[in-house]
Amino acid sequence: MAGNRMDPWIDSYAARAQGLTASAIRALFAVASRPEVVSLAGGMPFVSALDSDRFAEIAARVVREQGAVALQYGSGQGDQTLREQILEISGLVGVRSHPDDVVVTAGSQMGLDLVTKIFCDPGDTVLVESPSYVGALGVFRSYQCNVVHVAMDSEGLDPQALREALVTARASDSPVKLIYTIPSFHNPAGLTQGFHRRQEILAIAQEFNVPILEDDPYGLLGFEGEPPQAIRSLDDQGVIYLGSFSKIIASGLRVGWVIAPHGVREKLVLAAEAATLCPSNFSQLTVSRYLAEQPWQQQIKVFQELYRERRDSLLQSMQALMPAGTTWTVPKGGFYSWVTLPHQLNATTMLPRAISSLVAYVPGTGFYADGQGTHNLRLSYCYPEPSRIEEGVRRLAGVIDAELDLVNTFGIKTSDEAPGNSRPQLNPNSDLF
């Protein structure tokens, strides 16, 4: 058995390697791939909505016509033309910058990793939303950061709570290095900061002189009106902006970007070169030509429509089928709704029963560094067809009903939380129903 083999190097690892533990999402990927399971777990974009013949033809022309570049090492900062095109895209969320201050990365996860690497010594504090993106928590853990969750309300990150966290941290000996936020169509909370909220958060960050790390993979995938303007559109020195082609073109290309103040950008390029030498020219040039030749804004509209329809299917199914007491957020874009279970049911202990009933989700605890989230779960509507989403919700509602029956009949509660910590993570409000 692999798990039983002795590891001869167990005493040789760095202290940070202790933070490398498997995430709930990771274990779920295997489960979610079984066709009989309706997976509302993974955040995989529906790449089949791309015209793959057209994309194939573009990739082929890149190799045929620019092979000497596409197949070769390139600049550590990324392709110049692509960096200019990235600014066109970022302009849609109000970000103005210079191509010199854009760094192309192997997906925006790499941007997250590099920014953390250059800012955070072990023990430094990072403020994150409550809940926050599981992949970001993994990065912060891998650099031994002190992660502090800050409450959200219906508009996302709560300014009052943010200020309190900064005041508390100032009294400690752990400097706050980053405020990490996903202002638009939050993963996993499904919430979006309004414009005034963004101004408030920025003002507080400026007052305490802490940079904001703005993660914006979903910003162009809103379902109504214009895309929310990035916090970065309000301040080019105080905000480090992360963008990604994973959700607006294709995640399999692994192309994302960072837009950073000049001094940060210089360090980022050097860190990126140490990490991977340079991003893939093969991927970059394919993306660049796709943007140059294809109606990419129309393609984004196709994605918006597709995900809106699936979001509607999820919400309608939940409203029709979910047991009383279950609440959830109403996303206005992106991929996710955040569900709070009734009667403090435990989403982690419920998961094996859900999978037996052929539906998968991500338990809420994965989105916390501190054990919160036991009564929560994340539902993704991005990948399954609407009818499958409805079927998944039906199965999940059945599982929750069965759990509630147990509680009502025998008084057995699957929750294992202490009574003092029983408040749901998100307050009931106009975004919850």
Site for its own copies in 188-227 (CB under 8 A): 211
Between 76 and 156, name the residue whose CB sits nearer to its own copies: 76
Instruction: Return the residue of 99, 261, 386, 398 that touches its own copies, per CB under 8 A.
Output: 261
Residue choice 174, 229, 276, 357 for contact with its own copies (CB under 8 A): 276
Which region, judged by CB under 8 A, interacts with its own copies, from 44-52, 316-324, 395-403, 407-415? 44-52
Q: Of 267 and 388, which CB lies nearer to its own copies in the complex structure?
A: 267
Q: Is 279 in the site for its own copies (CB under 8 A)?
A: yes
Under the criterion CB under 8 A, does residue 185 sit at the interface with its own copies?
no
Residue 41 lies near its own copies (rule: CB under 8 A): no
Which span (118-126, 336-344, 363-371, 385-393) binds its own copies, by CB under 8 A?
A: 118-126
Interaction between residue 63 and its own copies (CB under 8 A): yes
Looking up tokens 């909220």, which residue turns up? 197
| Residue 237 makes contact with its own copies by CB under 8 A | yes
Write out the binding residues for its own copies, residues 386-415 only, by CB under 8 A.
none
- Give me the least distance between CB of 219 and its own copies, in Å please: 19
Residue 7 within binding range of its own copies, rule CB under 8 A: yes
Total residues interacting with its own copies, rule: CB under 8 A: 93
Q: Is there binding between residue 170 and its own copies (CB under 8 A)?
A: no
Minimum distance between the CB of residue 390 and its own copies, rounded to whole angstroms? Answer: 22
Q: Which stretch binds its own copies (CB under 8 A): 64-72, 197-205, 340-348, 406-414?
A: 64-72
Q: Please tell me whether residue 294 binds its own copies under the rule CB under 8 A.
A: no
Smaller CB distance to its own copies: residue 57 or 88?
Answer: 57
If DSSP states are collapsed to H, E and C, what string results for the chain? CHHHCCCCCCCCCCHHHHHCCCCHHHHHHHHHCCCCCEECCCCCCCHHHCCHHHHHHHHHHHHHHHHHHHCCCCCCCCCHHHHHHHHHHHHCCCCCCCHHHEEEECCHHHHHHHHHHHHCCCCCEEEEEECCCHHHHHHHHHCCCEEEEEEEECCEECHHHHHHHHHHHHHCCCCEEEEEECCCCCCCCCCCCCHHHHHHHHHHHHHHCCCEEEECCCCCCECCCCCCCCHHHHCCCCEEEEEECHHHHHHHHCCEEEECCHHHHHHHHHHHHHHHCCCCHHHHHHHHHHHHHCCHHHHHHHHHHHHHHHHHHHHHHHHHHCCCCCEEECCCECCEEEEECHHHCCHHHHHHHHHHCCEECEEHHHHCCCCCCCCEEEEECCCCCHHHHHHHHHHHHHHHHHHHHHHHHHCCCCCCCCHHHCCCCCCCCCCEC
Rounded to a whole number of angstroms, the minimum distance from the CB of residue 344 to its own copies is 31
Sketch the per residue contact string, 335 through 364, with its own copies: x for CB under 8 A, - otherwise.
------------------------------
Least Å from the CB of residue 25 to its own copies: 9
The distance of closest approach from Cβ of residue 372 to its own copies in the complex, given in angstroms and rounded to an integer, is: 21
Tokens 């800012």, residue? 119
Q: What is the token pair recorded at 192?
A: 């979006």
Ranges within 359-388 binding its own copies (CB under 8 A): none
Site for its own copies in 135-154 (CB under 8 A): 135, 138-139, 141-142
Q: How far is the CB of 113 from its own copies (least distance, A)?
A: 5
